[in-house]
Structure 1
Amino acid sequence: MNKLSNNAQAMLFGFGAVVLWSTVATAFSISLQHLSPVQLLIIACSISLIFLLALTAVKGDFTKLKQEAKNSWKASLFFGTINPFLYYLILLQAYDTLPAQEAQAINYTWAIVLSFMAVPILKQRLKAKDYIAACACYFGVLYIATRGELSDLEFSNLPGVAFALFSTFIWASYWLFNAKDTRPSLIGLTLNFAFALPLILTYAAFTGELSEWNSEGLWGAVYVGLFEMGLSFVLWNKALKLTTKASQVANLIFLAPLLSIIWLSQIANEPILPSTLVGLGCILIGLFIQNSANSKQQ
């Protein structure tokens, strides 16, 4: 059997990451039935940190990690505050308030937010397709938020929608600032989680979330930490390093929300609303338009 080409391996690694990401909404939904968002974040962040530390040690970069922690502790604290602390705290609030199918669909509009925020921060210019993509995506968000009742404009859960939209701004901000981060990617991510965990624990202590834990949500939180915050990063990073066609790997991300809908209905037993399917379709069309425009530009 011939050895797979680098691009073929990249697609396999990318697909593996996307499959893991597609299960996260289900894990969130199940775990949040037993844990608060902060409790889920504490467990997931701890597991992810253990995984990343172990991976760093296996790669022989532990000495570099300690040195980088001393030299760039301000950057590590800054990035760790944004992600995982603020981002996942807000995102999990969205999942705790909205049906998981709605929260995950709205969260996928972060790429649109990124393109608009890049204008003042990175001095990039918007194309006509960027505006068309934004219109398609946010029409989808509106359709999901009103559950198809556009004429009445009555939002089914305005706080939940606000949390989901706010998470897209935090995530987009993280990637814009991350573009200027000079730390090695694995070491930087590990330090982000190391500096974020004390912040999460402090917040949990002030809000009284360190008591009355329900062990039934433990394994879901462990799954989130290991796969959503840990292994998926390794697979995706490997895919991007192997491929010579980044746009092909990036296109795999469109599978995640579609697979997620299947897992939510079959595993979490969450009835899928017609408004979610219509809204998600609009969001995916918008993302495809934007992605195709960016691919041609590159």
Structure 2
Amino acid sequence: MSKFSNNTQAMLFGLGAVLLWSTVATAFSLSLKHFSPTQLLLVANIVSLLFLITLIAVKGETKPLISLAKQTWKSSLFFGAINPFLYYLILLQAYNTLPAQEAQAINYTWAIMLSFMAVPILKQRLTPADYLAAAACYFGVLYISTRGQIGSLEFSNVSGVAFALLSTIIWALYWLLNTKDKRPSLIGLTLNFAFALPLIVIFAGVTGELNHFNYEGLWGAVYIGLFEMGLSFVLWNKAMKLTTNASQVANLIFLSPLLSIIWLSQFAGETILDSTLIGLACILTGLFVQNVSKKTKSSK
């Protein structure tokens, strides 16, 4: 990789992360045919935690990990309760209730939700572009949720849409609170997964989901834990550290939902609805408007 410039390496790492993220909806869809959302989260969390601990050991950061685990156990438990425990539990419930193409499209509106939640939490101000982006995104959500029948306002699955939208609130809240987290990013993420594990085990035990595992879903859960929750973070973090143009790397994220639609149709057997494509186009337009607005503001 040394023959490539830092920016080229950053784009390659970023592209790798985006390619992995684009397969997640398909992995969720296939795995949830065999596992409940709680069982899938439990296995994926264990795999991700083992991967992150191995990575930290290779980097020689085991002592700082143990030290920070003792010093910051309260904040680690708090962040772990939000992500991965609560966030993935609700997100997987959305995927378990809705077609994956709809759940993943709605989930992409979390960036718009973050802008609005930053007003009370970070005292930021909204711009006209934020309102325009929100209008485009949530029109897309409405179009997907009603399968194009906006006039009737008959939602295809109210609870599934509610879970998908709730996941965007929790994810946005996590990132807003994360701005005040002083822990190193990799160690912090590892501690989140470590302290979330007992919460997931207790929840699975209370709901009776520690029994009757269908091991046909095991490889899908391992894939999610290793790539969606583990390696993708490392690749994206590496990309953001190497680049001198963060927005250029960030723009790669627009490829993910488009690729995801292809994988869902090819490997999960979902017939892609016109309403999903139109709604997703509205959501991506909204995110693009928001992205351009942020770039303009930062350049000023």
TM-score by length of 2: 0.99
Equivalent position of 2:78 in the other structure: 78
Identity %: 74
Equivalent position of 1:88 in the other structure: 88
Equivalent position of 2:104 in the other structure: 104
Runs of 4+ in 1 over 6 A off after TM superposition: none
The equivalences for 1:216-231 within 5 A come to 216-231=216-231
Q: Which amino acid aligns with 1:180?
A: K
User: Which digits, 9 at most, give the CA deviation of each residue in 1:185-209, with x for residues without a partner?
Assistant: 0000000000000000000000001
Aligned-pair distance for 1:2? 8.1
Q: Distance in 2 between matches of 1:124 and 1:250?
A: 21
Equivalent position of 1:189 in the other structure: 189
Equivalent position of 2:12 in the other structure: 12
Q: Distance in 2 between matches of 1:4 and 1:110?
A: 33
Q: Which amino acid aligns with 1:259?
A: L
Equivalent position of 1:255 in the other structure: 255
The equivalences for 1:1-298 within 5 A come to 3-298=3-298
Q: Distance in 2 between matches of 1:216 and 1:273?
A: 28
**RMSD of aligned residue pairs (Cα, Å):** 0.8
Q: Which amino acid aligns with 1:70?
A: K
Q: Which amino acid aligns with 1:292?
A: V
Q: Distance in 2 between matches of 1:140 and 1:271?
A: 19
User: Which digits, 9 at most, give the CA deviation of each residue in 1:216-261, with x for residues without a partner?
Assistant: 1000000000000000000000000000100001100000000000
Aligned-pair distance for 1:75? 0.7
Q: Distance in 2 between matches of 1:70 and 1:294?
A: 38
User: Which digits, 9 at most, give the CA deviation of each residue in 1:154-203, with x for residues without a partner?
Assistant: 00000000000000000000000000000000000000000000000000
Aligned-pair distance for 1:266? 0.3
User: Which digits, 9 at most, give the CA deviation of each residue in 1:16-65, with x for residues without a partner?
Assistant: 00000000000000000000000000000000000000000000000000
TM-score by length of 1: 0.99
Q: Distance in 2 between matches of 1:235 and 1:16?
A: 7
> Matched residue of 1:182: which SS?
coil
> Matched residue of 1:208: which SS?
coil
User: Which digits, 9 at most, give the CA deviation of each residue in 1:78-99, with x for residues without a partner?
Assistant: 0000000000000000000000
Using a 3 Å threshold, how does the CA distance of structure 1 residues 60 and 2 change in structure 2: closer, same or farther?
closer
Q: What is the count of residue pairs matched by the alignment? A: 298
Q: Distance in 1 between matches of 2:76 and 2:151?
A: 47
User: Which digits, 9 at most, give the CA deviation of each residue in 1:235-292, with x for residues without a partner?
Assistant: 0000000001000011000000000000000011111010000000000000000011
Q: Distance in 2 between matches of 1:256 and 1:179?
A: 25
Q: Distance in 2 between matches of 1:180 and 1:297?
A: 23
Aligned-pair distance for 1:295? 1.2
* Structure 2: tracts of 5 or more residues without a match: none
Aligned-pair distance for 1:3? 1.6
Using a 3 Å threshold, how does the CA distance of structure 1 residues 2 and 86 change in structure 2: closer, same or farther?
closer
